[in-house]
């Protein structure tokens, strides 16, 4: 199994509070991704990183920011959480991107509830 | 916007039955992957297909990529309770990022 951990695994917070989720990898993979998973929507890309301090937006980036100061860590921040951000958040890593046979390895997920 | 629609959304069958899950789009994808996700875990890659018409087999699972690379199917023969899970297709989109399908939740009863 790819070495990917997410913390916390579960979090309940209140509307308007800041929340930071952490993804940590031990594989030294270049690419890291944050997805959210909601019923009927599959997985949707929030932000991704293609190197230290190199990040870009995905399809549902509004209300989220990310940072990557080290290869192994990718942080997702909800500056002011809203109920619509209640979801399960998955981090993924891949060695490369743009290759047709590239594999993404997923972490175990963080279940976030915003009351 | 590239979308991948999966059908059926839910599938509940008895052990030993066969089933097919479909992944359809109006867009062309350069490759398509299938993942399986078990409760409380992240998705795990099952297969990648890259050529139109390609068929790949993984034990009792058969994956096919449509000739026009707009659709794919997953066929399971003689389903077992261990096949239970959420099946997701994902295509490599125009921006080289994966676009995930809406998912098919399969329940196989013993």
Residue B30, pLDDT > 90, answer no
Domain ranges in chain A?
4-97+104-114
Structure confidence at residue A99 as a pLDDT band (50, 70, 90): low
The pLDDT of A56-71, averaged and rounded, is 95
* A68: Cβ contacts below 8 Å, ≥ 6 apart: A32, A49, A51, A52, A53, A54, A55, A74, A75
Confirm or reject CATH 3.40.50.1820 for domain B5-109, answering yes or no: no
Q: What are phi and psi of B82, to 5 degrees?
A: -65, -15
Name the residue of chain A whose CA is nearest to B91's CA. Answer: A100
Task: Give B44-84 as a 3 state SS string.
Answer: EEEEEECCCCCEEEECCEEEEECCCCCEEEEEECCCCHHHC
Confirm or reject CATH 2.60.40.10 for domain A4-97+104-114, answering yes or no: yes
Residues 54-93 of B with CB under 8 A from A: 88, 90, 92
Instruction: Chain B: give the shortest CA distance to residue A104, in Å.
Output: 8
Q: Give the model's pLDDT for residue B93.
A: 76
């Amino acid at each position: 199994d790819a070495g990917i951990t997410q913390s916390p695994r579960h979090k309940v917070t209140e509307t308007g509070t800041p929340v930071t989720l952490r993804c940590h990898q031990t594989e030294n993979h270049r690419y890291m991704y944050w997805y959210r998973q909601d019923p009927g929507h599959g997985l949707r890309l929030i932000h991704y990183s293609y190197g230290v301090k190199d990040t870009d937006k995905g399809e549902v980036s509004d209300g989220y920011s990310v940072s990557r100061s080290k290869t192994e860590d990718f942080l997702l921040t909800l500056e002011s959480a809203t109920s619509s951000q209640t979801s399960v958040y998955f981090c993924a890593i891949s060695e490369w991107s743009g290759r047709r046979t590239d594999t993404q390895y997923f972490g175990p997920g963080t279940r976030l509830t915003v009351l | 916007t590239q979308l991948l629609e999966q059908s059926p959304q839910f599938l509940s069958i008895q052990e030993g039955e066969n089933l097919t899950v479909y992944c359809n789009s109006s867009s062309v994808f350069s490759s398509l992957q299938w993942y399986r996700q078990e409760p409380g875990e992240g998705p795990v890659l099952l297969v990648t297909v890259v050529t139109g018409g390609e068929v790949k087999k993984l034990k009792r699972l058969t994956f096919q990529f449509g000739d026009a690379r707009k659709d794919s199917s997953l066929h399971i023969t003689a389903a077992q309770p261990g096949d239970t899970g959420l099946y997701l297709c994902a295509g490599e989109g125009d921006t080289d990022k994966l676009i995930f399908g809406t998912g098919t939740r399969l329940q196989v009863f013993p």
